[in-house]
Amino acid sequence: MTYFTADLHFGYKNILKFRTQFTDVERMDSFILSMWNQKVGDEDEVYILGDLTHQSIDANTTVNYIEKLNGKKHLIVGNHDLHLLKDSKMRHYFKSIDWMKIIKLDDKMLTLSHFPIVEWTDSHRNVGEGKSLHLYGHTHDSKTEGVYEFLKKNYPYALNVGVDINHFEPVTLEECKRNNAAFFHML
């Protein structure tokens, strides 16, 4: 099975200002780890579209989180992952590390990046078919600054895989589509 996720921010205390359902970072981390491992098996592929931890979390602490997560992990670098690239041992923990990646899944072409983008491979050919999708993170569950309305109105084939709108668990492509439809009130 193939799963997608983003913006886990393990160990990052300041994210609790926005994730008010958690009283402390230990509970948040424990919940996210539990949700991940209940769903993901050792042979499953998981694409993490950025911000696994936070730039303030050292590489050794990040490794402790990675080692607890089931599955074969791929990292698409996010703005809070840059510090991980400086540590050469990080390559050992991921099947791949990329700034952006294009994969084929079933009959879909998926462009994976941490940030939402306005154009991606074959996006102009979608015309109601949705054969080319863009998966992203970074925006969490924000409905401010115009990004939410812009994406809702203009980009039905761009899907947020961040944990904040996907029940704090990695999601399949179909689960992601349903969760995005609910988040963008398109059901």
Over residues 138-154, the pLDDT tens digits come to 988 877 777 778 887 77
Whether the Cβ atoms of residue 51 and residue 137 lie closer than 8 Å to each other = yes
Phi, psi for residue 133 in degrees, rounded to 5: -120, 150
**Contact by Cβ (8 Å): 149, 183:** no
The CA radius of gyration of the chain, in Å to the nearest whole number, is 16
Tell whether the model's pLDDT for residue 165 goes beyond 60: yes
Structure tokens given for 74: 């791929």
Distance of CA 42 to the CA centre of its chain: 19
- Distance (Å, whole) CA 1 – CA 67: 19
Could you list the beta-strand ranges (E) of 87-131.
96-98, 100-105, 108-113
The pair of three-digit structure tokens given for residue 140, joined into one six-digit string: 């969490």
Architecture label for domain 2-183: 4-Layer Sandwich (3.60)
Parse the chain into domains and list their residue ranges.
Answer: 2-183
Of residues 27 and 146, more confidence is placed in 27
Picking from 161, 160, 171, the residue whose alpha carbon sits closest to that of residue 3 is: 171
Please say whether the beta carbons of 142 and 164 come within 8 A.
no
Predicted confidence band at 187 (pLDDT cuts at 50, 70, 90)? very low
Q: How far apart are CA 91 and CA 63, in angstroms?
A: 11
Structure tokens, 45: 């592929």
- The pLDDT confidence band at residue 18, using thresholds 50, 70 and 90, is very high
> In this predicted model, what pLDDT tens digit does every residue of 93-147 receive, in sequence order?
999 999 999 999 998 999 999 999 888 887 776 656 678 899 999 988 877 777 7
Rounded CA-CA distance 181/93 in Å is: 33
Asked if 35 and 167 count as a contact pair (C-beta separation under 8 A), the reply is: yes
Higher pLDDT, 120 or 161: 161
* 3-state SS class at 128: coil
The pLDDT score that the predictor gives to residue 60 is 83
SS3 156: coil
What is this structure's pTM? 0.93
Average pLDDT for residues 4-19, to the nearest whole number?
95
